[in-house]
Structure 1
Amino acid sequence: MLAMRQPEPLTIDDSLLLEKVKDGSTHAFNLLFEKYWEKAYSAAYKRLKNGEDAKDIVQEIFTKIWLNRQTHMIENFPAYLHVAIRNNVIKSLSKQKHFHPFFDILENIPEKNSQADANLLWKEFFKSYEELMESLPPKRQIIFRLRYQEDLSTKVISMKLGITRKTVQNQLGKAIETLRVSLLRILTIAIILITTS
């Protein structure tokens, strides 16, 4: 008699897997991990450009899911994973020297907020970020993007643009101050609106 073939992880309903995980099923947890590992890793790597850091973030997220399986209710797993990856990426970046403290306020966003609220907050935040970036003087904007979005050193930027390293550092300082003050105010208002709604 032929043995019944086990269903592929991708075909198993998330809510069923989560229910079994809540009951302590390591098999269901492994299936959930297998189903979403590659997607989660790709999302983290896309933001961090570092394979080890991306793996650590995904591992940490799934570890917390297992440890909090009986108390943390997850209704939409892809949406939950998206938010968890984004927040953990921010935490990881905030520990790096080239990332700036105006993102620390993100730690104060309560986890109880609905994912719809969180997604709306981030959409508005990054829309405001891009608008502020566009408002910077052209050369200052280029320098900022090269440093913090392409992760080039001030020395490389100075050589690339044919200006002194001191000029690069001065322009970065002015750009950071503009963004820090403006984005912190925008984000604070958004958080107040969410937490009091």
Structure 2
Amino acid sequence: MFFKRRPKSPAELSDEELLVRYRREGEVADLGALYERHMPAVFAICRRYLRPDEDAQDAVMQLFEKLVVTLRQHEVSNFPAWLHTTARNYCLMQLRARQRAGPESGPLVLHFPDATAVELAPAAHLEDDADDLTLTEERLQAMEHALAELPEGQRRCLELFYLQKKCYREIADETGFDLGLVKSHLQNGKRNLKRSLESSANAAR
């Protein structure tokens, strides 16, 4: 007597196995299980570029809809790396669309306030401070590259403060740094980031 082997559940399969089975059978539940594994990372990427958080959440869902089609047509060897690039490029396309929509869509601005006055205040409350950087696609790419080149402590503190809108105390709790080191990383990271961006801008001229 022959018994039909029970198909493995998505949780039992690796990323690569899920991709192969999805390409072969087109079962969206397999893709959903795969995407769910990486959804926190995708959301973090979207939050780097899209505000408010509702826009980033919408992007996460829209990306999944694109993957339903794309991953049936294309083979992917390193899914996490491919997904990171795909999410980043999708966000950049959304920003391009906003720019084409005209001034009514609002400026794309990343704020770099003076870090000495915000020990207990989230960066989101400091939008009137000077020293703003308007983000075009090129500057977004330069920003991502410059952040990646920073020392780990500086990069982490900058991302938490400026991109995730954490206050000093929240950053200290999340990283384990004391408040003095958080302030130092922010000040040094901000200076190094601006220097790197200015160097990239000069090289492009």
What TM-score, normalized by structure 2, do the two folds share? 0.45
